[in-house]
Amino acid sequence: MSVLDIHVLGSPVLRQETTPVAEITPELQRLIDDMFETMYAAKGIGLAAPQIGRRERMSVIDVDDQRFVIINPEIVLAEGKQKAEEGCLSIPEIYGDVERATHVVVRATDREGKPFELDATELLARCLQHEIDHLHGRLFIDYL
Ligand code: ZN
């Protein structure tokens, strides 16, 4: 595994729409493993493919020791509102309060290509919304 370079604000790829993943390949799984390694090295709780300069529609997340790979994720339910401070590995040293849904249900595909549904609240719900935003070129500073 290897630690990849994280793209920071100003890199065009952060503002581009991603492309849905059509097939789970060994190369894609290696990329997922590298994304986890990169995220842990940077002490983050989530990392989306555009942050390492890639266009695949996928992110990795580790909140409270729960690890998730979300490939082609979709938010199918969002309810409630919570405001809390957010940061981003691609926007160093900037933090701000962002309003997000308290509860989300996300439909995605996992590292093995199996579809699953994730029912999340609080920090995990916030992280999911932040990482899914990345896959559509949106950054948390857009809400400030
Ligand atoms: Zn981010």
Query: Model confidence over 9-54: pLDDT tens digits?
Result: 999 999 999 999 999 999 999 999 999 999 999 999 999 999 999 9
Helix, strand, coil fractions of the chain, as percent rounded to 5? 30, 40, 35
- Residue 86 bears catalytic tag: no
Distance 85 CA to ligand 1 centre (A): 12
Q: Closest by alpha carbon to 88, among 32, 33, 58, 126? A: 126
With tokens 């199918």, the residue in question is: 76
CB atoms inside a 10 Å sphere around CB 121: 14
**According to the model, what pLDDT value does residue 1 have?**
85
Q: CA-CA distances (angstroms) from residue 43 to 38, 51, 65, 75, 111?
A: 9, 14, 13, 25, 21
Per DSSP, which regions of the chain are E strands? 46-48, 58-63, 66-79, 82-88, 91-100, 103-109, 115-121
**According to the model, what pLDDT value does residue 101 have?**
98
Query: Model confidence over 60-86: pLDDT tens digits?
Result: 999 999 999 999 999 999 999 999 999
CB atoms inside a 10 Å sphere around CB 124: 21
Q: Name the DSSP letter for residue 117.
A: E
**According to the model, what pLDDT value does residue 61 have?**
98
Residue 122 to residue 8: CA distance in whole angstroms: 26
Distance 26 CA to ligand 1 centre (A): 25
Distance 4 CA to ligand 1 centre (A): 15
Distance 24 CA to ligand 1 centre (A): 24
The catalytically annotated residue of 79, 117, 122, 131 is 131
**According to the model, what pLDDT value does residue 35 have?**
98
